[in-house]
Amino acid sequence: MQRTSSRPHVVIVGAGFGGLSAAKDLAGAPVDVTIIDRHNYHLFQPLLYQVATASLSPGEIAQPIRSILRAQANARVLLDEVSGVDTARKTVRTTGGQSVPYDYLVISTGARHSYFGKDHWEAFAPGIKTIDDATRVRAKILLAFERAEGESNKAKRDALLTFVVVGGGPTGVEMAGAIAELARRSIVADFRSITPHCSRIFLVEAGPRLLPTFPEALSAETKRALESMGVEVRVGASVTDITADGVMIGPAATPAKTVIWAAGVRASAAGEWLKASCDRAGRVIVSSDFSVPGHGDVFVIGDTAAFNDVSGQMLPGVAPAAKQAGPYVARVIAARATRAPAPSPFRYADYGNLATIGHSKAVADFGWARLTGFAAWAMWSLAHVYFLIGFRNRFVVAASWGWSYLTYQRGVRLITGSPAMPAKQPMSEAA
């Protein structure tokens, strides 16, 4: 890629919460910005589980990057996948064969699933990090009901109607609650042989409690609420094996055709690109301004970064942290470009933790106040609608949630990307 300007060139890899907020905050800076992403859209990941459980469609939680940055004259978008970084030549390599030069580089490439050394489990227990992941999981869940409707073998039918979610963090809790509502309230009226009590939903957590980053009282309330919805919660229980036929929870086998992974993540390959020091999760250990030690012009933010703030606290791998880190790095770069004083040290503003459980059920921890039930659910709904990009998305999601709240119906029950019927057998030729 040829340089067409003498102004500093800022390359941002990843259009997630951190990368996009950094790009937008550089709108008034005397720099040129190129944002590289392998997708042409910004994804609101916290609501991916609602795509996977047929509440929302992909277009309601995603927005084209080009439309977001349409009015930003100093920004351009490159649809490509980064394959490496040459810090000596200050270039970014892509799988499309481009070599993109930079003066400042911001890496915000997020995280991948971690199966703790059991990567072969991924074939049987998919996680949800992308729209493709979510639509595949949605097809898997809906196909289980469709095939159970016509299955006469009780053991096979029970396995089809057994759903196991591995991991008791916010994603696992939200997924288990959503599947329980789908199985018990939303779609059973459409079937003739499936009743609300045919399905079993397991939530398995190896630790001693759900939502370990929340206060214990809220963890206990979450467990109670899920169990009231019919979810069988197993805490202090480890998954020891996953196959096409089910899971081993400790020494016990649980036949299940649908297993969903929400137990762990690992950082992207940024540490390998930069040959930088990383923590055990593969996150790049960064300095107080998010720069990589030894490479002051390279910054790493979001789930890819291991960052300790001025109080010594590790920055959590959540969307609000990335949304705050992006503008901070933009201010650092703008200050360098204009030879202005560097901004004061970064300090994370923790506005609280929220997790939804189901219909009118959620928990919220603001430090100074803790909410449960409808009040927490309303706060969770308002916060997520507010942070969605685009007025249309906010309106459509709010309307969808309002309709689901009143009727329990799920409006996006489409099976796509996976065959609903077995392959046809070739017909024999007539004699």
Residues annotated as catalytic are 174
* Contact between residue 78 and residue 36 where contact means Cβ atoms under 8 Å apart: yes
Q: Is 53 exposed, middle or buried (0-12, 13-18, 19+ CB in 10 A)?
A: buried
Could you tell me the CA-to-CA distances from 406 to 38, 85, 169, 176, 185 in Å, in that order?
Answer: 38, 51, 28, 21, 12
Fill in the DSSP letter of residue 343.
P
Contact 355, 363 (CB under 8 A): yes
CB–CB of 19/110 below 8 Å?
A: no
Distances, alpha carbon 51 to alpha carbons 54, 138, 149, 167, 215, in Å: 5, 7, 23, 19, 28
Q: Which amino acid is at 94?
A: T
Question: With contact defined as beta carbons under 8 Å apart, do 117 and 29 qualify?
Answer: no
Q: Give the angle subtended at the CA of 269 by the CAs of 343 and 26, to the nearest 5°.
A: 30
What strand order describes the sheet that includes 353-358? 353-358, 361-365, 370-372
Angle between helices 170-181 and 216-228 (to 10 degrees): 20
Q: Find out whether 289 and 332 touch, Cβ atoms under 8 Å.
A: yes
Non-local (6+) Cβ contacts of 318 within 8 A are none
Host H or E run for residue 77: strand 75-79
User: Tell me, what amino acid is at 131?
Assistant: I
* Distances 303 to 253, 286, 322, 402, 413 between C-alpha atoms, Å: 34, 12, 8, 32, 31
